[in-house]
């Protein structure tokens, strides 16, 4: 594994053998002030030739936050998008 840091105090943890980003840590501001936050990626699955995480867990100040785990049943790469999603509301026109 390799740890990489940048100027914005973010840290990435990489599994070098398989090239996966396992976690990203950063200092962020929230309701209770500045905290150390981490996103931990898991449940890696193949999607169109890419290996992507299908679960993301949040850790704040070293404590797992159980209600902020996000899971994805499926991920579509470059799937069709309905142009109506980008239409301005009639009140704006």
Count of domains in the chain? 1
Quick check: 5 pLDDT over 70? no
Spatial CA neighbour of 21 closest among 41, 50, 38: 41
Domain that holds residue 68: 2-86
Quick check: 1 pLDDT over 60? no
With 0.85 as the threshold, say if the pTM is over it: no
Confidence of residue 27 (pLDDT cuts 50, 70, 90): confident
Considering the domain boundaries, does residue 92 fall inside one? no
Residue 79 has a pLDDT of 93
């Amino acid at each position: 594994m390799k740890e990489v840091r940048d100027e914005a105090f973010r840290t990435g943890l990489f599994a070098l053998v398989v090239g996966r980003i396992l976690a990203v840590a950063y200092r962020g501001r929230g309701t209770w002030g500045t905290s150390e936050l981490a996103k931990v990626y898991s449940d890696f699955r193949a999607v169109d030739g890419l290996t992507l995480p299908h679960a993301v867990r949040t850790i704040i100040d070293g404590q797992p936050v159980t209600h902020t785990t996000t899971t994805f049943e499926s991920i579509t790469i470059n799937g069709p998008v309905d142009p109506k999603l980008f239409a301005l509301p009639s009140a704006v026109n």
